Structure 1
């Protein structure tokens, strides 16, 4: 039976092409949703971009007929702008129809009572789904963009190695596999004495590679657990052009990425510059506009990156101070920026750029949509490596969740590609206090 789907504005602001994702069913957009989208179109951030894209798509559909009477969609469905179907009597007493959510609920409830077909309100707003359920309206989340990641244990392959294979591994830094595996996969090699060696499969999947180990430490940072060893293996491999590091706070994602980036940019000179960026999604109440120039405005949002860089560069700064170098006057971070070996940028300003031969780190990437992640990756020029760091369980973006954020889409779509590697870190290493508190709270 054909169904009727009523779309909330949160769905279109999350996916402007959501209209065509409901097969051959009828899609209803209440007029108030158009008003809400129109109010967002001048925003410079990604929500404004989505609003403008949704309006342009509706404008193209308008060429096929009057939207208020219904227009056929390419997938066999139908789109209609609903102008009526709400009144003061249909909602509970004292409901404020000045609120857009209540007007959308009124439209959905009126259609539910009139239609013989099932009417389903689709919204990413949890509170709205609860209110709709209380009114007897069928409701659902927008599932088209959701992906389910496998468990962490499923991503890790355990293989036993005999003493002969271990000897060949230490001598040649790799051993051939009898049957190929997925490229850049985390492998837990169990030795004859029961000890464990962190390995990864090669980019072509026909070898087990051991390049890292505890003896090699980029920027004097050594791995503290298996996951960090796998992460450094992939970060230090120039053949892996895209690395996805997922894990809770304190597992070392950003620190490892920065250490590897500094080593390969400043010492090895594989890349001409390390570019660090993060989306501006404040935690808690926004503090509003900030005074000063651009660098002063964005510094509070970039402070976590500065903190990690200060930690990594502290030892070098102390050595320079002992020698009485000029770098005593200006911080090591400012010196790297002045030499154009380091750039710390707001993610907004990356759009439209072409970035070759750079080591790019995107922090807090869980607050990016799949479309935004695609936009960032397509900025990469020849010789560029991109590292995405984030925790899918700590999302501050109003329209994303654990299953619909850009990191999850990346892991789902690119798994098995030779240029892509991913590690899910689980053990906190920031401090005993942070780890124990995270477990208990």
Structure 2
């Protein structure tokens, strides 16, 4: 019997069409490395964006001017050796992935765009001239490349609305730094187990390490567990995840009474979440604690009380540094009178308020506060002036971190030196940066990225304890 050969038609692989992304200035300020974030696709930077970066790089605001310079330097490295024609057509972007195709970067001379009846055109309205010119670039590329995916990427909500209203089909926010799809999924540092925790455990071993007793349970007993989180159930079970390996969770059991009886500088917890936060912040093996939660939940008070306790009672650190981002200060701090601490006073009054709470019952409250500030070596800093420094043997509090980008937070945390601890505080419901949302906040990014690190701890402190009026305002106004 004669065998017949079967011929298979091979379908040739077609390289997917490259997408075109037009970047707005605020994207490069939010993430100066954004030009490397679009894989194999084509990046277009309008000349107007370069002009804005050039203007911003010389501002007194050291944070934003530094990011502008980094973005300019990165663009320069890519196009440095290219010809003018190549720069307008697209220069290959260096990529760590040697197997895949590289993306390209082009500079678009948008000053040459004029009103054209075939292309929608936004005029140079004085207040919106730059935004309009950038939108015009995307509109012209869309008209000249029919059927291609041309997208404007901007963090300006109003600009996105204007671009869509002008006929641009694709407009997006910058999403590289988005680690969650829903802010409700942000980890809290603890998990509540319904019913009896031990009833759902198939096996458990008890081991002794140094001076602590650990219970080893299968890792899949608690979904999405991570180091330094707390577990509690509807009964009396409360445990701390001491560590995790490939197959097991190692739990250190504790009691609610023990946590609720903890004291820092005369401060005691008023609810379980505060108690867990105090336990976490006092853990010598945790180098960074991130506390989130609504206004009035006690985040700042806990952080400050532990700092005073650790410096004045335990002698663990030599100084207490309090820092926060000060958006209005960008242009104004240089003109305020006095030392850096005196310049920062309007933005750090909350810490004086908390010192008054801790020493309000003293015979001389003002004298006690002045004494503590001197003894604990409390220093007030603006984040705009912390870069380039290194802080050793220090206890550092970063307040109002919800308005920082991931790039800004990284540059601050990387300054923490030996024998230091940093506490990052923020309320994602109080973001005043127009280009940042709860999903794109550096605080959200920090929580999700650091939750698996053995020497970091996360805690969401809920429950308004400032007053019943504050609780009403947070929930109903």
Asked if these proteins are the same fold (TM beyond 0.5), I'd say yes
Between the aligned partners of 2:442 and 2:253, the Cα distance in structure 1 is 29
Indicate conservation of the 8 Å contact 2:124/2:133, yes or no. no
For 1:298-317, list aligned pairs within 5 A: 298-315=344-361, 317=362
Give the direction of change, closer, same or farther, for the CA distance of 1:432–1:286 in structure 2 (3 Å limit): farther
**Structure 2 equivalent of residue 325 of structure 1:** none
Displacement after TM superposition at 1:336 (Å): 2.9
The alignment partner of 2:260 has SS state of coil
**Structure 1 equivalent of residue 149 of structure 2:** 118
Tell me which moved more, 90-99 or 376-385.
90-99
**Structure 2 equivalent of residue 168 of structure 1:** none
Between the aligned partners of 2:335 and 2:429, the Cα distance in structure 1 is 28
Question: Which of the numbers 260, 280, 290 marks the counterpart of 1:244?
Answer: 290
TM-score, normalized by length of structure 2? 0.81
Give the direction of change, closer, same or farther, for the CA distance of 1:93–1:41 in structure 2 (3 Å limit): closer
Displacement after TM superposition at 1:197 (Å): 5.6
For 1:134-145, list aligned pairs within 5 A: 134-137=165-168, 138-145=170-177
**Structure 1 equivalent of residue 319 of structure 2:** 273
For 1:251-330, list aligned pairs within 5 A: 251-282=297-328, 289-315=335-361, 317-318=362-363, 321=364
The alignment partner of 1:206 has SS state of strand
**Structure 1 equivalent of residue 217 of structure 2:** 178
The alignment partner of 1:331 has SS state of helix
Question: Which of the numbers 25, 48, 53 marks the counterpart of 1:32?
Answer: 48
For 1:79-98, list aligned pairs within 5 A: 79-84=105-110, 86-89=113-116, 90-91=119-120, 96=125
**Structure 1 equivalent of residue 71 of structure 2:** 54
Indicate conservation of the 8 Å contact 2:324/2:399, yes or no. yes
Between the aligned partners of 1:154 and 1:232, the Cα distance in structure 2 is 12
Question: 1:183-232: CA deviations, max 9, x gaps?
Answer: 211211443xxxx5654222565132438522222122221222111111
Indicate conservation of the 8 Å contact 1:188/1:199, yes or no. yes
Which of 1 and 2 has greater Rg? 2
Gaps of 5+ in 2: 1-16, 96-101, 199-203, 205-210, 220-224
Displacement after TM superposition at 1:128 (Å): 0.3
The alignment partner of 1:81 has SS state of strand
Between the aligned partners of 2:282 and 2:413, the Cα distance in structure 1 is 19
Question: Which of the numbers 406, 412, 422 marks the counterpart of 2:448?
Answer: 412
Indicate conservation of the 8 Å contact 1:234/1:421, yes or no. yes
Between the aligned partners of 1:377 and 1:393, the Cα distance in structure 2 is 23
**Structure 1 equivalent of residue 93 of structure 2:** 73
Indicate conservation of the 8 Å contact 1:271/1:358, yes or no. yes
Displacement after TM superposition at 1:63 (Å): 2.1
CA RMSD of aligned residues (A): 2.8
Question: Which of the numbers 168, 188, 193 marks the counterpart of 1:158?
Answer: 193
Question: 1:48-96: CA deviations, max 9, x gaps?
Answer: 1110001111111122313234211124111111114632455568662
Indicate conservation of the 8 Å contact 1:366/1:405, yes or no. yes
Between the aligned partners of 1:439 and 1:113, the Cα distance in structure 2 is 48
Question: 1:332-383: CA deviations, max 9, x gaps?
Answer: 3332333353222222232222222221111111122112222222222221
Between the aligned partners of 2:136 and 2:416, the Cα distance in structure 1 is 47
Displacement after TM superposition at 1:282 (Å): 4.4
Indicate conservation of the 8 Å contact 2:405/2:440, yes or no. yes
Question: Which of the numbers 429, 433, 437 marks the counterpart of 2:465?
Answer: 429
Question: Which of the numbers 248, 251, 254 marks the counterpart of 1:207?
Answer: 251
Gaps of 5+ in 1: 166-171, 322-327
Question: Which of the numbers 395, 405, 408 marks the counterpart of 1:359?
Answer: 395
Give the direction of change, closer, same or farther, for the CA distance of 1:115–1:94 in structure 2 (3 Å limit): closer
Indicate conservation of the 8 Å contact 2:322/2:398, yes or no. yes
Indicate conservation of the 8 Å contact 1:368/1:406, yes or no. yes
Between the aligned partners of 2:40 and 2:214, the Cα distance in structure 1 is 53
**Structure 2 equivalent of residue 23 of structure 1:** 39
List structure 1 segments (4+ residues) > 6 angstroms apart after TM superposition.
285-288
The alignment partner of 1:380 has SS state of coil
